């Protein structure tokens, strides 16, 4: 008789637990629904091609005919002051057959790819002028010097290029960037005057 009673009370206990589990599950599902609605709340009117990360986060400038005709380079400047330097699509090196085949950071007095910059204060960073050589890119028959364009501290060069110089041909404007430079605010203002905007660049070089 007593066994029967404990069995019954056990049974009603598990029923209670099941009800609670059901309730919890419903609550969780309701919360998930709420969350999904929030996640998708701004999903109307998506553009077919959104702006790229570079377009959204950097101000894009170009240095045309830098020290030599058709030596065009880009300068992407972030709101925090850092400048990414690279080859513009209209650079003369891309006109050579086969494009760029090699890159060498050992120019001027040091190998730019060897310097280790450390710490928040960017110790050991070399200070360069805007016409200091950054590297040399070579094509089948020729080679061209790439320069800093911006006076400042050299924080890093793109090491990937040493192993994969073809990045320069495929995406010079992104993964094929050459270096990152940190100019002082006063030095930036001085050089900015000689750079052109993206719009002006498109007009001057007749690029679409």
Q: In the complex, which residues of this chain contact another protein (CB under 8 A)?
A: 35, 38-40, 42-44, 46, 49-54, 57, 78, 80-82, 84, 117-120, 122, 155-156, 158, 160, 167, 174-175, 177, 180, 182
Q: Which is nearer to another protein, 29 or 142 (CB)?
A: 29
Q: Write down the least CB distance from residue 68 to another protein, Å.
A: 26
Q: Write down the least CB distance from residue 158 to another protein, Å.
A: 8
Q: Under a CB-based contact definition with an 8 Å cutoff, are residues 85 and 181 in contact? A: yes
Q: Which is nearer to another protein, 82 or 162 (CB)?
A: 82
Contacts 24+ apart (CB under 8 A), 109-115: 112/154, 112/157, 112/179, 113/157, 113/159, 113/162, 115/154
Cα–Cα distances in angstroms (integers) from residue 100 to residues 44, 95, 129, 170, 187, in the given order? 43, 9, 25, 10, 31
Q: Write down the least CB distance from residue 8 to another protein, Å.
A: 33
Q: Which is nearer to another protein, 1 or 38 (CB)?
A: 38
Q: Write down the least CB distance from residue 12 to another protein, Å.
A: 27
Q: Write down the least CB distance from residue 47 to another protein, Å.
A: 9
Q: Which is nearer to another protein, 2 or 49 (CB)?
A: 49
Q: Which is nearer to another protein, 69 or 119 (CB)?
A: 119
Return all residues near 172 (Cβ < 8 A) that are at least 6 apart. 86, 87, 88, 89, 91, 94
Q: If DSSP codes are grouped into helix, strand and coil, which group holds residue 27?
A: helix
Count the neighbouring beta carbons within 10 Å of the beta carbon of residue 184: 13
Q: Which two tokens stand for residue 33?
A: 């629904």
Residue in 88, 52, 49, 55 with CA at minimum distance from that of residue 71: 88
Q: If DSSP codes are grouped into helix, strand and coil, which group holds residue 30?
A: helix
Q: Which is nearer to another protein, 51 or 98 (CB)?
A: 51
Q: Write down the least CB distance from residue 133 to another protein, Å.
A: 22
């Amino acid at each position: 008789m007593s066994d029967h009673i404990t069995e019954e009370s056990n049974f009603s206990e598990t029923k209670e637990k099941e009800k609670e589990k059901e309730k919890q599950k419903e609550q969780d599902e309701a919360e998930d629904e709420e969350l999904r609605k929030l996640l998708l709340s701004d999903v109307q009117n998506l553009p077919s091609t959104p702006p790229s990360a570079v377009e959204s986060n950097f101000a894009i400038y170009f240095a045309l005919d830098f020290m030599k005709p058709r030596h065009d380079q880009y300068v992407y400047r972030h709101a925090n002051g850092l400048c990414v330097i690279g080859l513009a699509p209209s650079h003369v090196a891309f006109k050579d057959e086969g494009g760029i085949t090699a890159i060498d950071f050992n120019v001027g007095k040091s190998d730019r790819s060897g310097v280790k910059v450390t710490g928040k204060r960017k110790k050991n960073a070399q200070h360069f002028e805007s016409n200091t050589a950054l590297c040399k890119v070579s094509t089948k028959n020729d080679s061209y010097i790439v320069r800093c364009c911006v006076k400042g501290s050299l924080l890093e060069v793109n090491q990937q290029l040493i192993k994969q110089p073809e990045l320069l041909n495929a995406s010079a404007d992104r993964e094929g960037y050459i270096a990152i430079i940190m100019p002082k605010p006063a030095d930036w203002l001085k050089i900015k005057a000689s750079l052109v905007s993206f719009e002006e660049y498109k007009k001057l070089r007749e690029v679409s």
